[in-house]
Amino acid sequence: MILVTGSAGFIGANFVLDWLAGGDEPVLSLDQLTYAGNLENLASLEADPRHTFVHGDIGDTALVARLLAAHRPRAVLNFAAESHVDRSIHGPEDFIQTNVVGTFRLLEAVRAYWSGLPEADQAAFRFLHVSTDEVYGSLAPGAPAFTEAHACAPNSPYSASKAASDHLVRAWHHTYGLPVLTTNCSNNYGPFHFPEKLIPLMIVNALVGKPLPVYGDGQQVRDWLYVKDHCSAIRRVLQAGTPGETYNVGGWNEMPNIDIVHTVCALLDELRPKADGSRYAAQISYVKDRPGHDRRYAIDARKIERELGWKPAETFASGIRKTVRWYLDHPDWVAHVQSGAYREWVQTQYAA
């Protein structure tokens, strides 16, 4: 059995679904079900005996200790995080509590469990921590992409909290010997993505005729990774990664945000054309840039390909088409996640 934290979020849910689609090893899921944690993401597993869901917080040391003792997982995969930069600017404390304090308490519970295992089980155990390329800061145009040796230089409360959690994971390996693995991924996209992030926000706003808000000049560059490729990379790192090592996971798809928006609009023009023949790109609206907006991220994913034989299967063209199609095919999911609180957040965030 494996324990997956943050299992009802975007990447965590995709990982759980992908894991159980590819094998029969059971999954114990733990999620606090904050605004972005959605049990509908795991609805297809409701009657699956291989999956056990627990509503709880990674910062609840007693709960985590009980789960570890009762289920005795061979690995813990930590997806649990507050992850939206805009929200971290408006309310950083939640990010410190979940990403820093929560990771610390999870590490301590796992360390106590791991220390009591037989020697062979200790050697086989893994703690895999899922992180972000944002911990590395911002790149100048033309600068080499982030490698695993790149110094941390986080620029937002979110990325600073994730960098802190990465450092804690590293320290628990070097100080206590806990067999950890860390992955730092680029921007994910795909099914079940909460519609406050760029791609799903553009899709859902476009379909209902709302403005498509683009920060600043839209020339911020990101490397885009299809979420199912990310899941396959994590499986490979868990299987064959070297304890104590960090692996960057990217899609080799550097694109400016405005190009992403135009790509989404063009796909919607094709797959869900407007009755009046107008183009979705006409809804693009430039808004004031967010404070401290990093200009460029780019992942050098050669280490994971060289050492573990992993590389992404999807191009951006194939992945974004699958993503747009998924949102068109799941209007009920979209409607259910757009609560009153979500609508208020979007209205406040993009009012300017």
Residue 45 has pLDDT above 70, yes or no: yes
Are residues 185 and 130 in contact, defined by beta-carbon separation less than 8 angstroms?
Answer: yes
Model pLDDT for residues 144-182, shown as the tens digit of each residue: 999 999 999 999 999 999 999 999 999 999 999 999 999
| Residue 190: predicted pLDDT | 98
| Residue 32: predicted pLDDT | 93
**Averaged pLDDT for residues 247-256:** 97
| Residue 88: predicted pLDDT | 81
Indicate the SS3 state at residue 183: strand
| Residue 349: predicted pLDDT | 55
Structural domain contains residue 221: no
Structural domain contains residue 343: no
CATH number at residue 116: 3.40.50.720
Tell me which residue of 317, 314, 130 sits closest to 225, measured CA to CA. Answer: 314
> Alpha-carbon distance 352 to 343, whole Å?
15
**Structural domain containing residue 175:** 2-188+226-252+296-313
User: Per the structure block, which two tokens stand in for 63?
Assistant: 């709960």
CA distances from 147 to 78, 106, 299, 305, 308 (A): 22, 27, 7, 13, 16
Model confidence at 342, pLDDT cuts 50, 70, 90, reads very low
Model pLDDT for residues 79-110, shown as the tens digit of each residue: 999 877 778 888 899 999 999 999 999 999 99
Structural domain contains residue 9: yes
- Class of residue 149 by CB neighbours under 10 A (exposed 0-12, middle 13-18, buried 19+): exposed
Angle, CA of 115, 121 and 123, to the nearest 5°: 80
Structural domain contains residue 242: yes
Structural domain contains residue 345: no
CA 187 remoteness from chain centre: 8
Number of independent structural domains in the chain: 1
What is the rounded end-to-end Cα distance, in angstroms, of the chain? 48
> Alpha-carbon distance 197 to 193, whole Å?
8
Tell me which residue of 264, 105, 55, 25 sits closest to 96, measured CA to CA. Answer: 105
**Averaged pLDDT for residues 178-193:** 97
Structural domain contains residue 210: no
**Averaged pLDDT for residues 223-245:** 98
**What are the backbone angles phi and psi of residue 136, rounded to the nearest 5°?**
-85, -10
> Alpha-carbon distance 181 to 166, whole Å?
10
Instruction: Tell me 270's DSSP state.
Output: H
Is residue 254 annotated as part of the catalytic site, yes or no?
no
Model confidence at 340, pLDDT cuts 50, 70, 90, reads low
Which residue(s) pair with 285 in the sheet?
213
Are residues 45 and 4 in contact, defined by beta-carbon separation less than 8 angstroms?
Answer: no
User: Per the structure block, which two tokens stand in for 316?
Assistant: 């951006």
Structural domain contains residue 335: no
Among 31, 133, 294, 300, the one annotated catalytic: 133
Model pLDDT for residues 63-81, shown as the tens digit of each residue: 999 999 999 999 999 999 9
Model confidence at 201, pLDDT cuts 50, 70, 90, reads very high
Are residues 253 and 315 in contact, defined by beta-carbon separation less than 8 angstroms?
Answer: yes
Q: Which amino acid is at 339?
A: S
Is residue 289 annotated as part of the catalytic site, yes or no?
no
Structural domain contains residue 206: no
Residue 352 has pLDDT above 50, yes or no: no
Among 57, 82, 113, 158, the one annotated catalytic: 158
Are residues 129 and 102 in contact, defined by beta-carbon separation less than 8 angstroms?
Answer: no
